[in-house]
Amino acid sequence: MTRLTRTTPAPAQGIVHLGLGAFFRAHGALYVEEAMAASGGDWGITGVSLKSPGQRDRLAPQCGTYTAVELGPEGETARHVSVIREVLVAPEDPAAVLAALRTARLVTLTITEKGYCHIPATGRLDLAHPVIRADLANPEAPASAIGYLTRALAARRDAGEPPFTVLSCDNIPGNGALLRGLVLELAGEIDPALAAWIAAEGAFPSSMVDRIVPATTEADIARTEALTGLHDAAPVMHEPFRQWVIEDHFAGPRPDLAAAGAELVEDVTPFEHMKLRCLNGTHSALAYLGYLSGAETISDAVAHPALAAYVRHLWAEEILPVLTAPPGTSLPDYADALFRRYANPAIRHRTWQIAMDGSQKLPQRLLGTIGENFSAGRSPRGLFLAVAAWMIYTSGRDLHGAAIDVRDPLADRLGACWPGAPAEVTARYLAIEEVFGPAPDPALAEGLTAALTALLTSGPETAAQQVI
Ligand code: CS2
């Protein structure tokens, strides 16, 4: 079968994207392509893989182009995306990445939570992180995203040029402010004058990104071939819904993202809170409870009446009451729409995929909401259950004793919290400061111990019914 390839000239580079994966290719890249179609400008994207060559190896023979397949309730539609001009693999050629950054006007990132090399509970740079230590020892040849940004910004300052705007597209609250702080910390360790220049001149807008994009499978590659008649080694599958809310704070020119439907606002905070807590929080809850109850995907999980009632309970009783609605948004409508998105059977988003890296995700997805329930004098038993399910999941054994392939930077420490009685296990988890902070509320220990006991004795579905 003929391989997909580029049919129009590659656009000139305006953007460097760090951490090229399926999510950005199914979200940000499409907005940029539409912004250029609507309003012009040179905003071609150089994609950078910070670790492995897989994306480059699949995309290079297709000149960076790929198919985005929308999986809606009414069927599938395919779109040929050609806004990515080339893909670089940072460890193979750090100089090429720095050269691309040297001329970028906008740098976007999807490096996942752990790519920030920070301490999730405090938001500070983890100076003991091996990659950050390497960057401190050798700032000219960076390895982390923070190291690349810092080095490239230094080159811009040295050349008397303005900085590029740095736009984080990861699921972390205040992602721009966090990233700015981390870059300033690293720059401050290397050259305090550089840190002062970045602080004065740099722009790190925060943004909220949303689209459900499961990892591409072999079956998806075959489905795309059947749809387009071309072989594409790197298609992306996505739901119809998408949203991008961006803090309107750029250091220079930008693509006309508003023309593509992005919302440019003064303050992203209420949008981020809504999305991280309503969507990602319940995604994680359904991932752990769903996995333990044998659900392979999120749509399988919500097809189960007990888990469907459980997630609706989380929204109605434990999450929405402590949220502030963004302007013009109805939170109950938002939650209803989320349920419909989760139930879309065409999207096979594995619970195992979402369960990954829980130690980096829980603070912003679940623990903040738990804390606000405490402040309001409430005891969120449904959220306790989600955290307790994560504890069981990260033991590395499910409730029937079968092994779980736990992927998490703290996997060893999490697994070492077991075995033990529920109160002991809970105490060991709560001692992990990176996740729970220095002084977790004693009510959390009590709530988690009860939830863990319920899960271990009654199983996920009964335990879920009991909290409703
Ligand atoms: C998911 C997210 O994998 C995960 O942790 O919760 O990737 C989620 O699908 C997106 O944030 C949706 O916008």
Residue 73 lies in a domain: yes
Which residue has the CA at smallest separation from atom 1 of ligand 1?
A: 354
Determine the number of helices (DSSP H) and then strands (DSSP E) in the chain. 23, 13
Which residue has the CA at smallest separation from atom 3 of ligand 1?
A: 354
Choosing from 265, 300, 330, the residue where a domain stops is 265
Count of other CB atoms within 10 angstroms of residue 94: 18
Handedness of CA 292, 298, 303, 309 (dihedral sign): positive
Per-residue pLDDT tens digits for 360-387: 999 999 999 999 999 999 999 999 999 9
For 11, the token pair is: 């656009």
- Cβ–ligand 1 contact at 273 (below 6 Å): no
Q: Report pLDDT for 18.
A: 98
CA 365 to ligand 1 centroid distance, Å: 11
Q: State the Cα angle at 292 between 291 and 298, rounded to 5°.
A: 30
Q: Which atom of ligand 1 is nearest to the CA of 27?
A: 13
Residues of the domain holding 249 = 13-265
- Cα-based distances in Å from 282 to 104, 386, 432: 36, 9, 22
- Cα-based distances in Å from 9 to 62, 342, 385, 447: 13, 38, 53, 59
Choosing from 265, 282, 315, the residue where a domain stops is 265
Per-residue pLDDT tens digits for 344-363: 999 999 999 999 999 999 99
User: Are 247 and 343 in the same domain?
Assistant: no
Helices 145-158, 94-103: axis angle to 10 degrees equals 50
User: Are 309 and 392 in the same domain?
Assistant: yes
User: Are 134 and 280 in the same domain?
Assistant: no
CA 215 to ligand 1 centroid distance, Å: 11
User: Are 324 and 422 in the same domain?
Assistant: yes
- Cβ–ligand 1 contact at 171 (below 6 Å): yes
Count of other CB atoms within 10 angstroms of residue 55: 23
- How many domains is the chain partitioned into structurally? 2
In the predicted model, is pLDDT for residue 315 greater than 90? yes
Residue 147 lies in a domain: yes
User: Are 261 and 277 in the same domain?
Assistant: no
User: Are 153 and 137 in the same domain?
Assistant: yes
CATH of the domain at 133: 3.40.50.720
- Cβ–ligand 1 contact at 105 (below 6 Å): no
Per-residue pLDDT tens digits for 53-112: 999 999 999 999 999 999 997 899 999 999 999 999 999 999 999 999 999 999 999 999
Residue 182 lies in a domain: yes
Which residue has the CA at smallest separation from atom 10 of ligand 1?
A: 212
- Cβ–ligand 1 contact at 211 (below 6 Å): yes
Helices 381-393, 422-430: axis angle to 10 degrees equals 90
In degrees and rounded to multiples of 5, residue 347 shows phi and psi of -95, 110
User: Are 154 and 207 in the same domain?
Assistant: yes
Give the strand pairing for 66-72 and 236-238.
parallel
Residue 386's contacts (CB-CB under 8 Å, 6 or more residues apart) are: 281, 284, 285, 288, 289, 314, 366
User: Are 431 and 296 in the same domain?
Assistant: yes
Residue 104 lies in a domain: yes
Residue that is written with structure tokens 């996942």 in the block: 112
263-265: strand order across its sheet: 207-210, 243-247, 263-265
User: Are 151 and 74 in the same domain?
Assistant: yes
Q: Report pLDDT for 73.
A: 79
For 234, the token pair is: 């790197």
Per-residue pLDDT tens digits for 436-449: 999 999 999 999 99
User: Are 32 and 168 in the same domain?
Assistant: yes
Which percentage of the chain shows pLDDT scores above 70?
A: 100
Residue 238 lies in a domain: yes
Residue 8 lies in a domain: no
Residue 407 lies in a domain: yes
User: Are 218 and 297 in the same domain?
Assistant: no
pLDDT-derived band at 265 (thresholds 50, 70, 90) equals very high
- Specify the 3-state DSSP secondary structure of 94: helix
Q: Which atom of ligand 1 is nearest to the CA of 365?
A: 6
CA-to-CA distance for 326 and 328, rounded, in angstroms?
A: 6
Choosing from 265, 287, 315, the residue where a domain stops is 265
Listed in sequence order, the DSSP H helices in 48-162 are 54-59, 94-103, 130-137, 145-158
User: Are 116 and 235 in the same domain?
Assistant: yes
Count of other CB atoms within 10 angstroms of residue 328: 6
- Cβ–ligand 1 contact at 206 (below 6 Å): no
- Cβ–ligand 1 contact at 212 (below 6 Å): yes
CATH of the domain at 368: 1.10.1040.10
Residue 7 lies in a domain: no
For 417, the token pair is: 């919290």
